[in-house]
Amino acid sequence: MSLTVSEVKDCAHLARLGIEERDIGSYAKDLSGMLDLMTQMNDLDTDGVEPMAHPMDQVQRLRADVVTEQVDREKFQAIAPQVEAGLYLVPKVIE
């Protein structure tokens, strides 16, 4: 099975992932190789098998609805690329 250049571009767009035009061919080749590997899965009949999402088959724990943590805005924003007046700055979205 092979992945086309345009399918690679679609995935890159969905993932908001910039890839160089000159690298697309090599991604298509590598991903096609991975897909070949994955088609081996079809050799096994899995009808009626329950999908396993997690090794422990756990359910999410519940906890009391009480405040356990305070957000330290200053501390967390100290590592942000660009902030102003306690807000994260990004390029203008609405004209």
Partner 1 sequence: MYNKTIAELARGLRSGEFSSVDLTLAFLDRIKQHHSLNAYITVTEEQALQSAKAADLRLATGNAELLTGIPMAQKDIFCTEGIKTSCGSKMLDNFIAPYNATVVDKFNSAGAVMLGKLNMDEFAMGSSNETSYYGAVKNPWDTHTVPGGSSGGSAAAVAARLAACATGTDTGGSIRQPAALCGITGLKPTYGRVSRYGMIAYASSLDQGGPMTRNAEDAAIMLQTMAGFDDKDSTSVDLPVPDYRAGLSNSLEGLKIGLPKEFFGEGLNSDVAATLEAAINEYRKLGATVTEVSMPSLKLAIPAYYVIAPAECSANLSRFDGVRFGYRCENPADLADLYTRSRGEGFGKEVKRRILMGTYALSAGYYDAYYIKAQKIRRLISEDFKRALSEVDVMMGPVTPSTAFGIGEKIDNPIEMYLSDIYTIAINLAGVPAMSVPAGFAQGLPVGLQIIGNYFAEDRLLNIAHQYQQVTDWHTQTPKGFE
Candidates 60, 65, 67, 84: give the one binding partner 1 (CB under 8 A): 60
Minimum distance between the CB of residue 76 and partner 1, rounded to whole angstroms?
6
The Cα–Cα gap between 5 and 26 comes to: 9
Say which residue the tokens 């690679």 belong to: 8
Residue 8 contacts residue 24 (beta carbons within 8 Å): yes
* Radius of gyration in angstroms for the set of CA atoms belonging to the chain, rounded to a whole number: 22
CA trace torsion 60, 66, 68, 70 (10° rounding): 120
- In whole angstroms, give the CA distance from residue 80 to residue 89: 9
For partner 1, which is the closer residue by CB, 15 or 67?
15
Provide the mask over 13-52, with x wherever binding to partner 1 is found by CB under 8 A and - wherever it is not: -xxxxxxx--x---x--xx-xx--xxxxxxxx-x--xxxx
Q: Is 66 in the site for partner 1 (CB under 8 A)?
A: no
Name the residues that contact partner 1, by CB under 8 A.
3, 7-8, 10-12, 14-20, 23, 27, 30-31, 33-34, 37-44, 46, 49-56, 58, 60-61, 63, 72, 75-76, 78-82, 88, 90-93
